[in-house]
Amino acid sequence: MRSLAMFSQKCPLCGCEEIRRSHRRNAWETLLLWMGIKPMRCRECYNRFYMF
């Protein structure tokens, strides 16, 4: 499990600002989107995390 919650627009692992929206994969992530929580992915280390 490498996902981390965060509040700023940076990767929580490497601090890189090159992040993109990740595709939602399942019903859980669709539900998160409805709540305004977006799955993101870092372009540097490929960490997945959620942004509020």
Enumerate binding residues for Zn ion (CB under 5 A). Answer: 11, 13-14, 16, 42, 44-45, 47
Report in angstroms how near the CB of residue 43 gets to Zn ion at its nearest: 8
- The smaller minimum CB distance to Zn ion, of residues 33 and 44, is found at 44
Q: What burial class does residue 31 get, using C-beta atoms within 10 Å of its C-beta: 0-12 exposed, 13-18 middle, 19+ buried?
A: exposed
- From CA 11, how far away is CA 47, in angstroms rounded? 7
Looking at the Cβ atoms of 25 and 43, the one nearer to Zn ion is 43
**What is the Cα 41 distance to its own chain's centre?**
5
CB closer to Zn ion out of 3 and 30: 3
